[in-house]
C-alpha cells in the first residue's frame, strides 16, 4: 500500500516536471514550434514513456496547463473578494497584488495563456473562457462598487485594460537599472492608479 502511494506521488511529480518543460518550450517557441520529441528530449524521457503520462500528446499538455491555471486564478480572485471586509478599495488592492504576483511567479504560463489558447479543442477552450469570464466578473463587481455610476460594461473595459498592464510582466526586461522587485512595484502602482482614477474622481 505504502509503495503504491509512493509510486503515485513520484509519477505525479514526474508528470508535473514534464508539463513544466512543455509550458516552457511552448512559451519560447510557440505550440506549433514544439514537437513531442522536443519535449521528450528536454525532459529526458523517451517517447513511449512520454505518451504514458500524456496519451493525447501536446493537446493534452496544453489543456492541463491552461485549465488549472484559469481555475487557480478564479479561486484566488474569489478569495481576495471574500477576505477584504467588503471594502471595495481594499478588495481592489488585494486583487491587483494577487494578479501581479501570479504573473511574476508564472511568466511562462502567462505567455502560453495569451498566445496559445486558440490551440485548445473547442470544448476545453469554452471551459477556459468561462473561467476567465467569472474571474473578470470578480473585478467588475468591485469596480462598480468603487466607482459611483460606473456601468458593468465600462468596468469590464477597465478591468481588461488592467490585465494587459499586469500581464506585461513576462515581457519586462529585468536588468541592473530596474530590478524585478521594482518592476512589480511599478506595475502594481500603475494598475491601481489606472483603476482608481480611470473613471472620474469618485474615489477621491
Average pLDDT, consecutive stretches of 10 residues, N- to C-terminus, the chain (204 residues): 38 87 95 95 90 92 95 96 84 95 89 93 96 97 94 96 88 64 89 83 50
Segments making up each domain of the chain, as ranges? 1-55, 58-204
pLDDT of res. 84: 63
For domain 58-204, the CATH architecture is Orthogonal Bundle (1.10)
pLDDT of res. 48: 83
Helix (H, G, I), strand (E, B) or coil at 178: coil
If you write DSSP's letter for every residue of 77-118 in order, what string do you get? HHHHHHTSTT-HHHHHHHHHHHHHHHHHH-HHHHHHHHHHGG
* Residues ≥6 apart with Cβ < 8 Å to 192: 92, 93, 96
pLDDT of res. 12: 80
CATH number of the structural domain 1-55: 1.10.10.60
For residues 131 and 74, is the Cβ–Cβ distance under 8 A?
yes
Look up residue 139 and give its three cell numbers.
473585478
Amino acid at each position: 500500500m505504502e509503495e503504491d502511494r509512493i509510486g503515485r506521488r513520484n509519477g505525479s511529480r514526474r508528470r508535473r516536471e514534464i508539463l513544466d518543460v512543455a509550458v516552457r518550450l511552448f512559451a519560447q517557441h510557440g505550440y506549433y514550434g514544439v514537437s513531442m520529441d522536443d519535449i521528450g528530449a528536454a525532459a529526458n524521457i523517451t517517447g513511449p514513456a512520454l505518451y504514458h503520462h500524456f496519451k493525447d500528446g501536446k493537446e493534452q499538455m496544453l489543456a492541463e496547463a491552461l485549465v488549472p491555471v484559469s481555475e487557480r486564478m478564479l479561486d484566488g480572485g474569489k478569495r481576495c473578494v471574500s477576505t477584504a471586509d467588503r471594502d471595495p478599495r481594499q478588495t481592489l488592492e488585494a486583487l491587483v497584488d494577487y494578479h501581479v504576483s501570479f504573473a511574476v511567479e508564472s511568466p511562462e504560463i502567462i505567455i502560453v495563456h495569451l498566445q496559445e489558447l486558440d490551440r485548445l479543442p473547442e470544448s476545453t477552450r469554452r471551459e477556459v473562457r468561462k473561467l476567465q469570464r467569472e474571474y473578470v466578473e470578480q473585478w467588475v463587481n468591485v469596480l462598480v462598487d468603487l466607482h459611483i455610476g460606473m456601468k458593468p460594461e465600462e468596468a469590464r473595459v477597465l478591468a481588461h485594460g488592467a490585465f494587459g498592464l499586469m500581464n506585461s510582466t513576462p515581457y519586462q526586461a529585468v536588468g541592473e537599472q530596474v530590478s524585478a522587485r521594482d518592476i512589480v512595484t511599478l506595475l502594481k502602482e500603475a494598475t491601481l492608479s489606472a483603476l482608481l482614477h480611470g473613471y472620474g474622481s469618485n474615489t477621491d
